[in-house]
Each structure stands twice: as C-alpha cells, then as structure tokens.
Amino acid sequence: MKSLNTPFCKLLNIEYPIVQAPCGSSTCPELAAEVSNAGGLGMLALSRPNREETSQMISLTKTLTKKPFGVNFVLDEIVIKSRPYEEKLRVCIEEKIPLISFTYGKLTSELIKSIHNSKLLVAFTVWDLEQAIEAVNSGVDVLVAQGIEAGGHLNSKITTKDLTKELVQNFPNIPVLSAGGIATGQQFAEAINNGAQGIWIGTRFLATTESKAHEVYKQKILEAKSSDTEISTLFDIGWSNAPHRTIKNSTYNNWSKAGCPSSGKRPGEGEVIAHRTNGTPIIRYEDTPPIDGMNGDLEALALYAGTSVEYIDKIIPASKVLEELVNGAIETLCTF
Ligand SMILES: Cc1cc2nc3c(=O)[nH]c(=O)nc-3n(C[C@H](O)[C@H](O)[C@H](O)COP(=O)(O)O)c2cc1C
C-alpha cells in the first residue's frame, strides 16, 4: 500500500502531504495556521498585500503556529507591474519561510539561487511538460501540476491526473503535487496512487470557517455542481487575457445571454456593483472575488472555484477538512 508519508513530508517537516493552496485574498494567516497546526502546509498568497501587510501577515501566522507554512507570488507581467514582488520576497527570505511558491511568468536561475542560498525551497505551478522542463532546468524543487479542473486562473489543457502522471514519469526525483478538482480523501488517495507526493487544494479550503471568502461566496461553493463552473476570460479588469474557472453567476449568465460579446461591448460594463471594506468601488468584470467585509451585489463578482465544488457540501474548520482527507485516503488506499 502506498503511504501518505511521502518524501515531500520529510522535505517540509510536515505530517501529511496536504497543501492549502494560495487563493488570493481568500486565504489568510488564520487559515494557513489552522492547516499547518493540523499537520498540513498552510500557504499565504502575497501578490495583493503590500510590503508592510506582508510582514504583518507573516508575523501573525508565526504567532498562530510554530509549524512550517509557505508563501506564494503570481509572477504574471500584468500582475507584477501593478504589484511588484521583489521587496516582499526579500521579507519572506529574511523570515526563512521554508516553501516559496510562484505561478505564471518565468523563474530565473538567479531568483531561485537567491532563495536556495537561504536553504529555502521553491515550488512552481505548471500546466504542461514544456513549462515543467524549463522550471526544473532553472532549479525548482517542487512542481505543482495544475490541471484543467482547477479553480482560479489556469492554463492547462489536460486533466490533473494526466498532468501529474506525465510529470512524475519525466521527473522521478522531483516531488510533484496534484492541483485541481481535488476535495475528497478518495481523490487524495488516487493522486498518491498516480505518483503525486501530495495535493494542493484551493476551493475545498475556501469553504472553511477560517477562510476570508465572503459568506455569499462560501454558500455558492456549497450549492454548485462541477457543471456550474466554467473557464472564461470574463473577469478581466485587473488581469486581462488570463483564463480562469469561476462559478457561473448573474454576470456570467447575462453576458452569455447577450451572445458572449468581447470586452468593451459587454452588459453592465463600468457599473459599480460592490464596495471593499475601505469603501473603494468594485466594478463589474473586475478580477476581485467577494471577501469578508465587502458589500453590494457580491454574487455578481468573480466566484473562482474548481470542479471540486461537486464534493463540497459543508463549511467546516480547516483542521476537519484535513482529518476527512486523511481518513478517506487511508480507507481508499487500503482497498487498492
Ligand atoms: C479564489 C482562488 C484564488 C487563487 N489565487 C491564487 C494565487 O494567488 N496564486 C496561485 O498560485 N494560485 C491561485 N489559485 C489557484 C490555487 O492555488 C490552486 O491551484 C487551485 O485552487 C487548485 O484547484 P481547486 O480549487 O480545485 O483545489 C487560486 C484559486 C482560487 C480558487
């Protein structure tokens, strides 16, 4: 029987190979710490916060857990133009965060060396073999195989299972983590059986008591089936030409009924539909999902979610999610 105690666990000094995937501002210190305290690896998504907020988030997480946790940056050109990452990355290196993860953009050997010099590990989210080869040649330590089922921004053309198998076969010495569509212990066991050294779960952890996803968003995740999610480039204000999987909502359905017109001709463009806690407006088609403290027509915002919504029917503490994943996986592995 395959074990859940994979080499990735030893590498990060964690009990279970379950990573709470970075999910923008829905993820937070309370969620990351709860996951790490329960034996997984919590992650902070640091693309949006500024330098000061980054320091505060890391120090709060460190007060909530003494266990390892990771951080993440989106390196897409459009994103880093408005939200530079270099200073924040320096903070993470000084704070000795054991796993620094990136997605989009290109990882240079220099960037990776600057992290390796402090004996920290680098993960990169990839959606095809070509990208993985480039990442491994640059010195990446962990590959995150993000399949077409994933929630949020994605570029994969193949399933999580197929991508995982392809990467495991090509890089037998690099830990590969499966990302996209996973929410149950049985799927966890299947990923391990396919050669993954762990799982990287986003949407399941959004529907937890600790996540910062707004209650309206959490309810939508509970109600949705996988067929209620769709890949589009609809929520493009802030990050254009970047495909993403969301739950089909009123904004999506009205656009679809209008014949899926291109940007500039869509229904309700420029309309203010919600406000952030600090009072700044959010306009229709922005890339912003509904977070605690926002108000307005929150259902109409970008409801990023994976096909994993199919298996999510209750909001529970993140530690309970881990418990269910581990127990379900052990049960399934026994039957293989
Ligand atoms: C709301 C949301 C926001 C996300 N933000 C990020 C991010 O900031 N950085 C990143 O690398 N991936 C991000 N992702 C992708 C996740 O890290 C992960 O790959 C994905 O959620 C896996 O699919 P699943 O949601 O079916 O578990 C996001 C996903 C969601 C649902």
Domain layout of the chain by residue ranges: 7-211+314-335, 215-309
Count of beta carbons in the 10 Å neighbourhood of residue 86 = 10
pLDDT score of 24 = 97
- pTM for this prediction: 0.97
pLDDT band at 218 (very low <50, low <70, confident <90, very high): very high
Q: Are 156 and 148 in contact (CB under 8 A)?
A: yes
Residue that is written with structure tokens 């395959």 in the block:
2
Count Cβ atoms within 10 A of the Cβ of residue 151 and give its class: 0-12 exposed, 13-18 middle, 19 or more buried. buried
**CB neighbours of 28 closer than 8 A, spacing ≥ 6?**
44, 57, 210, 211, 212
pLDDT score of 6 = 97
13-51 confidence digits (pLDDT tens): 999 999 999 999 999 999 999 999 999 999 999 999 999
Task: Please give the number of the atom of ligand 1 that sits closest to the Cα of 154.
Answer: 15
Shortest-distance Cα residue to atom 15 of ligand 1: 152
Task: Please give the number of the atom of ligand 1 that sits closest to the Cα of 308.
Answer: 26
Shortest-distance Cα residue to atom 4 of ligand 1: 23
Residue that is written with structure tokens 């581990």 in the block:
326
Average pLDDT, integer, range 74-84: 90
With the most atoms of ligand 1 within 8 angstroms of its CB, the residue from 18, 20, 23, 159 to mutate is 23
Instruction: Show the beta-strand stretches assigned E in the chain.
Output: 18-20, 42-45, 69-74, 99-103, 121-126, 142-146, 152-153, 176-179, 198-201, 229-232, 244-247, 272-275, 281-283, 295-296
Strands, sheet with 229-232, edge to edge from the N-terminal-most edge strand: 152-153, 244-247, 229-232
CATH code given to domain 7-211+314-335: 3.20.20.70
Q: How much of the chain exceeds pLDDT 90, in percent? A: 96
Strand partners for 282: 274
Strand partners for 102: 73, 124
pLDDT score of 2 = 77
What are the pocket residues of ligand 1 if the criterion is a CB atom closer than 6 Å to any ligand atom? Answer: 21-24, 26, 45, 47, 72, 74, 103, 125, 146, 149-152, 179-182, 200-203, 289, 304-306, 308
Q: How far, in Å, from the CA of 202 to the mean position of ligand 1?
A: 5
Q: Are 94 and 125 in contact (CB under 8 A)?
A: no
pLDDT score of 78 = 87
Task: Please give the number of the atom of ligand 1 that sits closest to the Cα of 150.
Answer: 23
Q: How far, in Å, from the CA of 16 to the mean position of ligand 1?
A: 20
Q: How far, in Å, from the CA of 165 to the mean position of ligand 1?
A: 21
Amino acid at 161: K
267-304 confidence digits (pLDDT tens): 999 999 999 999 999 999 999 999 999 999 999 999 99
